[in-house]
Structure 1
Amino acid sequence: MGEDRRRCSGSEDRISGLPDELLHAILVRLYSTRAAARSSVLSRRWRHVWAHLPELFLGGSRDAPPPLASLPDAVDAALAAYSATAAPLERLHITLRRGDGGHPVQASRAASWLRFASRHVVGELRLFVPAPGVDGEEEEVLELPACHRAKSVRLTIHDSWRLRPQPAGLFAALTSLRIDYGRMEASELTDLVCKRCPQLRDLNLSVDLVDVSDVSVLSGSLQSLLFFVLNIRRLEVVAPRLEELLVYHASEAHITSPKLAELVWNGEDYDPRLHKFDDVGRHLRLLEIGQISGAASLMRQFDEVDKLKLQISIPWAHSCPLSCPCRLAESGRVDGIALSFLEEVKLHNFASSSDELEFVEELSRCNAAVLKKLVINYAYGPATPLTMAICEKVRSMWRPNVSVEFYVFLDGRLVRFD
């Protein structure tokens, strides 16, 4: 017992004797740079270990607010300590919340963090600086330096900030870029995407243009594009490797992408005179169309679609009068679209209104000879609850060999209704 007691109370520190690489692996699993930095009080050996970590997580839900300094001050201090080393960073995450530090973060301060990232990050950079939640902010310029070694960059910034890429340098290793909020000049956005990111594969843009302008996305490497840009006049996409395209609010578009396999179109009515698909893939894995006019014309642009998602608005409370033209027999016919290989149909937010039941009956008359299953997910909290009588009424509309399944929300999840 006496020997065991001496072992427990002895001054031997076996953890500090571990190699730096193993200590780094331990501290990285804290997912909090602030917690890792606190390890420096353990011994002189630990004092600078955290400043050589391959990953820095500053702020976010895992970090309690610093007790003496604001979070932006803590970010400044951590980056200053790390700058004394030449160690590369696999990850740098800076996540601020509204109220951190008591005052909104200025764009010039965030720019200093981006300059640090341009020198150190060789993997993933994430910067989240939310808007302070007050109206009438003056525009500030956030300069984006070329992060020539970063592979993934995600920026979430103030709506009022104008993101301005510095004119020199390449994002030579960048494969994934996401920008949420903020404003950009169309010419600078086009230059960034077309000339500065030669390895870019995934591009996600949700920004405002400073003025109503045209934007071009010309890329030989791009494979996935989400384009949600306001103030856009005309979008041009020429991307020979592009497979996934999500477009929101493009009043005019010209798309050239022979490998296109997935298309999501939302927010803007489709007009074949203004929206051109030239030399695109004719067989899609997925076609998703929002609540727009011209959906049938858009579907005709493609020969085959494996999975089709349509958003259809059917008002629950106000049914069309019997005299409405939409009730004419010919209004339910769409030429040039065949459902010959359709195997499964899913309906979401169903509420069993008379118009919805009429739509289901019309759908049952479509020429879908190999259809096997109809799945109906009932709307959460509808005015008309689902009953067995409604289930039987819907089943009676379909062939006996079509399985019709109903699901309802229970405790926040969908549960089979039998």
Structure 2
Amino acid sequence: MDVVAAGFWGAFFCTATLMLVISLAAFARSHRRVALMAGVTSVVSAAFVVAYLGWLPLHDVGVEARVLAHVAIATAVCLALMLMSTLGMLRQRAVGGRAMALLVASGLLVLAAGWMLEAPAALVLSSVTAFAIGAGMLLVTIRGALRGDRAGWVAVAGIVCMLVALAGLSWIAMNRTTAWPVHALSATAGVVYLCVIAVVLWARYSYLLELSEVLAHGPSYDPVTRMRSHSETGQMVGDIFFHRDAEARPIGVIAICIANLYALENLHGRAAFNHALFICASRLRRTVPQYVEMGRLSEDGFLLLVPNAGDLQRVAQLAQQIRNRMVRPVSLSVSRDPAGLEAARTVWEAEIGIGVLVTNTQVRPAQAISTARAMARTAWTYGSRLAFFDQDAGQIAELQTDWADLAAWAA
């Protein structure tokens, strides 16, 4: 092998080794599923590269081709399952079971067909099948990314790199005299793939670390929501409303109340309550712009203050975005054991109500917040789950989601 090519592959094996060491550290912290996925991904990837570079102690070309055909299928199935588990695609047992059965059955079918062919043809068939499995995973991750999956586009980039590395290694296995640029491209793509998987797993690992603390401490531990505590929310309201200028400043008040949190606690315990609150707060933070101030509003709600918001339509659009994000189903864990946090067995949907109020800083803050909260609780009875105070009727009413009608009303 060329010296330059050896250097690139050395970088790849260093990356795989580092990933394996990190997985052992995660295993020591009791997050065994994360450690298993990282360890298996690094070991399987390294073993595949070793085999396809021709470093196995096999001297017969036919035998080597047969072995590589089996290695290609086993690696493709294993990495596909690891990636699906990393992205949370196997949480639903029925869907995950069918996906696993389909992958394994396809692999066995290809291997059986390969034994009816010559060894080189079997290697080509297995390599093409492995590439097809990777392409299928690429389509699945693109679909998830288009639906708003946070790790979706990162996973897409990783799978693209994996396909590049697979194509390069397949070419190397079939043409042992390949020039060093093919080795360099394949090794670089393999390094990027491992780095992407490490990033996704680290995000999952840090999420589980924080979630374990949340389930242990409950609402008294502020990282449940990673927002202002109740007392700090009161301080925030005071700072905004009592910082008076020469003129009253418009401000939008959004109150969010979750109706079924306490029912969840009665059915599944405090850990499920804390997990649900944690997920709702995480979704809220990802939806709300940076200029919006937010904090806790009792144990079952949140308060948002939108500065300089004199336009009801602007605040209503933000409220609708919040509603659309927070009502998505979530799989909850009912275990306090860190090793069992991913064993989500309870599917829950937040029954939320959102009250939207456009006022100004000259209004008493207690009155504004109590009004918004009352509207949020009233919104539980509305189909849109959005409520506002109709000045003409003098009562709480359902907020229009047709922006043309809403703009006409505001005018």
TM-score category (smaller protein): under 0.3
Q: Return the TM-score normalized by structure 1.
A: 0.23
Q: Return the TM-score normalized by structure 2.
A: 0.23
Q: Report the structure, 1 or 2, having the larger helix content.
A: 2
